Amino acid sequence: MNALFAKLKASEFANDLLARCNFGANGSKLDCAVSGGRDSMAMLLLAVLNGCEVTAFHVDHSLREGSDQEAKIVASLAEQLGAEFVSKTIKVEPGANLEARARDARYSVLPKNIATGHTADDQAETLMINLLRGAGLQGLAGMQHNKSHPILNLRRSETEKLCREFEICFVDDPTNAEMKFLRNQVRNKLLPLVNEISQRDIAPILARQAELFRQDAEFLDEIAKQLDPTDAKALAIAPVALARRAIRIWLTDIYPPDAATVERVLEVARGTTTACEIGMNREVRRSQQRLQINSKH
């Protein structure tokens, strides 16, 4: 047992945090995305404390000077904890939709179902962002409480406190202060204003609401799965909320549809039109009261 792990096991604070996490069974293998920030570094500490066989993955996006040095910080902590370490380097060009493009590029080189260090604060921000974008119930449900989000019940202040307690170096990403990104505006402007207006810490309330939305969404999805999305007549006469859900579940196998695409398919089911585009060079067409997904020629 190395010195850092021994301190972790003896820490009442670390063990209290671990009790609120979802890492799975002791001895299970776990891939963790570790950027070097306080949240992901805390996740790495707690995953090892849980007894997982951890591999820490770091991705350098090559977006700012010195970013290659952050991998060394993650590698050092992984070595101290006896965890495996894998470094990936990708090239993301500056420009429009930078956050989305960086996220897509990052996940393209990471293992499937990798654990991320999202906290309850991230969940609150996600709910607000999706609300601003006009998302439905599924979007307002935010991130799932599962092994891919094992520290979702923790607060950002707690992950920082854990790192400081064990004198863990972590990276402060300067882009988190750039107001050109919507998430940063929500984090640094909107939520503090809502806290001031409501005279309370709104993040745990929003995180709890997201979980309630998720439970409702999952229940409605189970009902919607009983509806055949290829039966035009059944879709047309079904409650519109269930019809939309059945279509969304059906099309998600190809590509998660937006609200406008779902509405177009519903119009095909109702007989308003015979076909509509759904993206990915595909269309939905009605023939003899059945809906079919076809490739466009």
- Name the residue type at position 231: D
Specify if 183 maps to a domain: no
**Quick one: angle between helices 203-224 and 120-132, nearest 10?**
70
Q: 104 with 235, same domain? A: no
Over residues 198-211, the mean pLDDT reads: 96
Q: For 145, which DSSP code?
A: S
DSSP string for residues in 208-247: HHHHHHHHHHHHHHHHHTTS-TTBHHHHHHS-HHHHHHHH
> What total of structural domains would you count in the chain?
2
37/162 Cα distance (integer angstroms): 12
Supply 127's token pair.
């709910």
Specify if 126 maps to a domain: no
**What are the pLDDT digits (tens) for 1-19?**
688 999 999 999 999 999 9
Q: 230 with 111, same domain? A: no
* Residue 162, pLDDT score: 98
At residue 297, does pLDDT exceed 70?
no
Mean pLDDT, the chain, integer: 93
Supply 249's token pair.
């579940």
Segments forming the whole domain that contains residue 154: 3-115+150-177
Specify if 7 maps to a domain: yes
* Residue 104, pLDDT score: 84
Supply 297's token pair.
């020629």
Q: 162 with 251, same domain? A: no
Q: 21 with 81, same domain? A: yes
**What are the pLDDT digits (tens) for 128-187?**
999 998 888 888 999 998 899 999 999 999 999 999 999 999 998 877 888 888 999 999
pLDDT grade, residue 86 (50/70/90)? very high
Over residues 8-36, the mean pLDDT reads: 96
248/244 Cα distance (integer angstroms): 6
Specify if 256 maps to a domain: yes
pLDDT grade, residue 74 (50/70/90)? very high
